[in-house]
């Protein structure tokens, strides 16, 4: 999947019109018209050569954004009443955390999930789609979109992406780490292709400045977004993943890339740390999970749960605690678990976020500093957002107006294993059709 366009700080190359004929050496990208089937075929050969793989011919479709949206909506299965109930509860829970607007609908989510795409690879059909009315940038940028999606095509042939994600992307946070690898390699290779078609080399780029600027733009985009749950997740894997894979490629070429695929980051936090042959820290989900899920009275119905990770926690804090674009205290977070409950008698919703950190006082102060909408529990009056502590870990509770966050926190009778719970609908991943993940 190729997101919003970006540009290397380079002099633009020249566009050659006319029929395509590649007379260059193997693995050499030549700028061509992506609507020309010969261009697609030759580009696929170059990408295969670059990746050290057997050549194959991808199917490429050209569609407008409206056509893609209509296709996705036509393929969506209607939600059952139970799934719709859980979806609505999830939205309300994300709204009290500042991650979605109140009343957000599934139909909006589908369109918003597609709004920044320039192209995508679909695992089921094995087809590449280029969104023509968005990819009309420079000819070089168009070509890079094609290269990016062809990389995904070959990733799938080489590694079976559906199976790969089934193994590694088992939570929201782990999915972000896994996507940083797949999108990171595709972004790296389309950047390198962009250099070639401009007659430049990797040595002509200040990569540290490039990735620093790109990641700063990613933080800006999330900070300014009115849909942080969608935009934070969709923006993350490109800038941070490309930096990660560039580090691996610079250190060990293809073997470095293969090593990262063999052991992808287990979280957004680890992906953000960049390339390390031996990562210095791992998330603590396995040790954390036995006490991650709160036990509430029977009239609280579990709607959704997942490990969100520090990237999405940061998006929530920037809106509810006035922490700016990045909260440094999150660098010490090692595990988290978010649950959303619907309280049937009141029709209220509670979001309960348990967070493990190496520096509890600093994280607590981040939630409670001046300008924050969170209060320390127990608060003297009804509150919709409170922060408490359980066994040395922070617990943040946010509720809709029908409930008192103080009372919800006090109502928790224990903590249990997340695997013991079931939900009818994975609401946390509602916004992106499976073919784009």
pLDDT computed for residue 375 by the predictor: 96
Q: Are 427 and 87 in contact (CB under 8 A)?
A: yes
pLDDT computed for residue 424 by the predictor: 39
What is the arithmetic mean of pLDDT over 36-40?
97
Q: How far is 426 from 305, CA to CA, in rounded Å?
A: 8
Q: Is the model's pLDDT at 188 over the cut of 80?
A: yes
pLDDT digits (tens, 9 = 90+) for 197-223: 999 999 999 999 999 999 999 999 999
Q: How many residues does the chain have?
A: 437
The fraction of the chain above a pLDDT of 90, given in percent, is 80
Q: Are 241 and 181 in contact (CB under 8 A)?
A: yes
What is the arithmetic mean of pLDDT over 364-379?
95
Q: Name the average pLDDT for the chain.
A: 90
| Residue 420 CA: distances (Å) to CA of 292, 296, 382, 387, 396 | 11, 14, 31, 25, 22
CA atoms within 13 A on the CB side of 216: 6
Listed as own residue / partner, the contacts of 75-82 with beta carbons closer than 8 Å and 24 or more positions apart are: 75/433, 76/110, 76/433, 79/106, 79/425, 80/424, 82/424, 82/425
What is the arithmetic mean of pLDDT over 375-386?
92
pLDDT computed for residue 2 by the predictor: 67
The fraction of the chain above a pLDDT of 70, given in percent, is 89
pLDDT digits (tens, 9 = 90+) for 84-109: 999 999 999 999 999 999 999 988 98
Q: How far is 129 from 149, CA to CA, in rounded Å?
A: 8
pLDDT computed for residue 10 by the predictor: 43
Q: Is the model's pLDDT at 393 over the cut of 50?
A: yes
pLDDT computed for residue 432 by the predictor: 40
Using pLDDT thresholds of 50, 70 and 90, give the confidence band for residue 7: low
pLDDT computed for residue 18 by the predictor: 38
What is the arithmetic mean of pLDDT over 356-385?
95
Q: How far is 35 from 23, CA to CA, in rounded Å?
A: 19
**In the numeric block, which tokens belong to residue 74?**
């036509």
Our CA angle for 155, 158, 163, nearest 5°, is: 80
Q: Are 180 and 237 in contact (CB under 8 A)?
A: yes
Contacts of 396 (CB under 8 A, 6+ apart): 352, 353, 355, 367, 374, 385, 386, 387
* Phi and psi angles of residue 288, each rounded to the nearest 5 degrees, phi first: -85, -35
pLDDT computed for residue 136 by the predictor: 62
Helices and strands of the chain, counted as H and E runs? 14, 11
> Which of 251, 279, 253 is CA-nearest to residue 264?
279
Helices (H), 263-309: 268-272, 285-288
The DSSP bridge pattern shows strands 385-390 and 393-399 to be: antiparallel
The DSSP bridge pattern shows strands 414-416 and 293-295 to be: antiparallel
Question: DSSP 3-state assignment of 299?
Answer: coil
Q: How far is 357 from 331, CA to CA, in rounded Å?
A: 9
pLDDT digits (tens, 9 = 90+) for 147-163: 999 999 999 999 999 99
């Amino acid at each position: 999947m190729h997101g919003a366009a970006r540009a290397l700080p380079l002099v633009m190359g020249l566009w050659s019109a006319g029929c395509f004929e590649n007379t260059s050496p193997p693995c050499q990208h030549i700028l061509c018209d992506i609507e020309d089937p010969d261009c697609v075929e030759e580009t696929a050969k170059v990408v295969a050569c670059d990746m050290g793989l057997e050549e194959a011919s991808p199917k490429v479709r050209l569609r407008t954004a409206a056509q893609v949206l209509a296709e996705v909506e036509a393929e969506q299965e209607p939600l059952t009443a139970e799934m719709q109930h859980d979806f609505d509860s999830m939205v309300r829970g994300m709204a009290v955390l500042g991650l979605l607007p109140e009343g957000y609908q599934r139909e909006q989510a589908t369109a918003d999930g597609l709004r920044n795409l320039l192209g995508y690879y679909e695992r089921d059909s094995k087809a590449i789609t280029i969104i023509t009315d968005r990819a009309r940038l420079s000819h070089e940028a168009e070509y890079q979109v094609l290269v990016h999606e062809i990389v995904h095509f070959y990733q799938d042939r080489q590694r079976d992406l559906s199976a790969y994600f089934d193994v590694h992307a088992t939570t929201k946070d782990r999915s972000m780490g896994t996507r940083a690898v797949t999108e990171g390699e595709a972004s790296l290779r389309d950047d390198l292709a962009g250099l070639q078609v401009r007659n430049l080399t990797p040595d002509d780029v200040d990569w540290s400045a490039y990735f620093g600027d790109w990641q700063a733009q990613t933080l800006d985009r999330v900070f300014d977004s009115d849909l942080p749950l969608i935009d934070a997740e969709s923006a993350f894997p490109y800038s941070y993943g490309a930096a990660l894979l560039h580090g691996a490629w610079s250190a060990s070429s293809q073997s470095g890339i293969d090593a990262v695929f063999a052991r992808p980051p287990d979280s957004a936090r680890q992906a953000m740390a960049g390339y390390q042959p031996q990562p210095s820290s791992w998330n603590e989900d396995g040790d954390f999970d036995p006490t991650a899920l709160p036990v509430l009275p029977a009239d609280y119905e579990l709607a959704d749960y997942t490990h969100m990770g520090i990237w999405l926690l940061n998006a929530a804090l920037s809106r509810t605690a006035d922490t700016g674009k990045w909260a440094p205290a999150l660098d010490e977070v090692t595990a988290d678990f978010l649950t959303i409950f619907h309280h049937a008698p009141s029709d209220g919703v509670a979001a309960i976020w348990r967070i493990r950190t190496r520096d509890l006082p600093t994280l607590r102060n981040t939630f409670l500093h001046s300008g924050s909408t969170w209060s320390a529990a127990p608060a003297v009056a009804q509150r919709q957002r409170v922060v408490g502590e359980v066994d040395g870990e922070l617990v943040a509770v946010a509720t809709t107006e029908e409930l008192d966050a103080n009372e919800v926190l006090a109502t928790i009778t224990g903590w249990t294993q997340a695997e013991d719970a079931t939900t009818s609908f994975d609401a946390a991943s509602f916004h992106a059709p499976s073919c784009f993940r």
